[in-house]
Chains A and B, each alone.
Chain A
Amino acid sequence: MIKIQNLNAYYDDFHVLKNISLEVEKGQIVVMLGPNGHGKSTFLKSVCGLVKKMTGTISYKGKEISGLGAEKTVNMGITYIAENRELFPEMTVLENLKLGAYSRSARPFEKKNLEKVFSLFPRLKARQEQFASTMSGGEARMLAIARGLMSNAEVLAMDEPSLGLQPNLRIEVARIIKEINSEGITVLLVEQNIPQITALADKLYVLEEGRISFEGSKDEALGNAHLKEIFLGM
């Protein structure tokens, strides 16, 4: 579904991503692990059209999407869910969700998606008139995911969805990711290492210093002594 070849990305003059090539198949959950500051976020943002300085090709359903910008990428069905949430603080939960469905391709499905999101996150339904700025960390995280779903995306690019959450909420996030995926949405997510979320992966990548240092299934990762030690902590 997504095919990335020789992706290089830069932040100012700093070369963040070096020759990344990978493939994501439809309906998969692909997890990319890696230490902080090694380029995971930049990777996701490049895929979602949020990085300006980059080279290489990213094709989505056979079409080249690199350099199109977020507006077009979202419209084609790839949505980024930010690590620091990026909500609209002085708008209500409902308004935030409605803005999630801003792109042209999402508008016809706004009602349907709103129902879906509310059934997935009953808490948000109860608080739909509340300002986003008044929400707790966990609720804001749910709202960010919900807003991403409103875009009617076929691919959700999630940036550390469990960052800063308590263990019980992490389990909740993992459950939601699984449920989203079971409805046919491809999930591409980056994490440091959260066992509950790594466990969902159909395919694992490890990003170190801007390069992919491992690629394989969960089982293969467990068999890799280096990874086991560094990331899986087992």
Chain B
Amino acid sequence: MLTEIIDVIISGMINGSVYALMAVGLTLIYGVSKAFNFAYGSFYSMGGYLAFLVFGFAVLHHYLIVFCLAAPILFFFGYIIEKLLVAPLRKRDDWEVKVMMITLGLALFLDNSFQVVFGARMKSLPSILEGSFEAGDFILSYQDVVIFILSIGGILAFRWFLNNTRTGMAVRAVAQNPAGAEIVGIPKEFVFSATFAISTVMVGMGGILLAQKYFVTPDGGWDILVKSWVITAFGGMGSIRGSLYAAFIVGMLEAFVGWQFGMTWTLIALFAVLLTTLVIRPQGLMGKRG
């Protein structure tokens, strides 16, 4: 019983850490540009498939190669998508709906392209690190440890970027006051595209990390989209710290509900939590009012 609970807690922590990475990406786009990305889940699957491709074709089968190749590809992809699909809509009054629509179309396009190219069957990825730490009944796989460290490391690195680099400061400036950012000469369009690209990298990395545990499927991203969404809304849209806390709460909740009642109940439980939060505190845990 006790070891079971510990297992559940560990699983909640590991998933929570990856969710945090992905939710921070989503909250970033929303906080900076108020754009809503329906294709976020498809970018998650894309990360998984990129890793699968690298393992299939590259000479060196190593996760280091995967990350080094996937990160720039995802960044470039996100950048292009923002420039081509989202940026032209910004001039319109109803751009919010239009962005939701176009990203939804993109999601359908990508998911089905994955299905045509890779087939509907699940793809599995090798574990990033074999072996485990054992003490009696208690088992902690090294894979989980690495996933945890990488996602938390990713978030910390991103925080460092926001606080200590010129571009990071420009990103925060646009999020806090777009008009002020324009006045000091910050290229807003570039910041929008860059944040979109960074968030694509974050969710794609999340895809690579989680695919080792849960396989890659063409439409596996929808679940992730809704979870990241729930986490950002729960934590407060635009608040990075909020999403961090919310991600761990959601990870834990999911693990415990799944353990006690079965996996079909996890989404329902998440939805219940979301609704309760939004009714009691519409701006989320850490979001600002209005």
Indicate whether A and B interact: yes
Interface residues of A (CB under 8 A from B): 48, 50, 70-71, 73-75, 79-82, 86-91, 95, 98-100, 102-103, 147, 151
Q: Which of B169, B179, B187 is A99 in contact with, Cβ under 8 Å? A: B169
Q: Is the CB of A103 within 8 A of B184?
A: yes
CB 8 Å contact bits of B168-180 with A (1 = contact, 0 = none): 0110110011011
- The residue of chain B having its C-beta at the shortest distance from the C-beta of A100 within the complex is B184
Q: Is the CB of A82 within 8 A of B185?
A: no
Residues 179-200 of B contacting A (Cβ, < 8 Å):
179-187
Q: A82 CA to B178 CA in the complex, in Å?
A: 13
- The residue of chain A having its C-beta at the shortest distance from the C-beta of B179 within the complex is A86
Using Cβ atoms and an 8 Å threshold, which residues of chain A touch B289? none
Pull 30 A–B residue pairs with CB atoms less than 8 Å apart, ordered by A: A70-B182, A71-B185, A71-B186, A74-B184, A74-B185, A79-B183, A79-B184, A79-B185, A82-B179, A82-B180, A82-B183, A86-B180, A87-B180, A88-B172, A88-B176, A88-B180, A90-B172, A90-B176, A91-B169, A98-B166, A99-B169, A99-B173, A99-B181, A99-B184, A99-B186, A100-B184, A103-B184, A103-B185, A147-B184, A151-B185
Shortest CB distance A87–B (Å)? 6
What does DSSP make chain B's interface, helix, strand, loop or mixed? helix
Shortest CB distance A124–B (Å)? 16
Q: Which of A75, A91, A98 is B185 in contact with, Cβ under 8 Å? A: A75
Using Cβ atoms and an 8 Å threshold, which residues of chain B touch A151? 184-185
Q: Is the CB of A88 within 8 A of B185?
A: no
Q: Is the CB of A91 within 8 A of B184?
A: no
Contact A50:B166 (CB < 8 A) given known A71-B187, A87-B177, A91-B173? no
Q: Which of A80, A89, A90 is B183 in contact with, Cβ under 8 Å? A: A80
Q: A48 CA to B183 CA in the complex, in Å?
A: 8
Shortest CB distance B288–A (Å)? 9
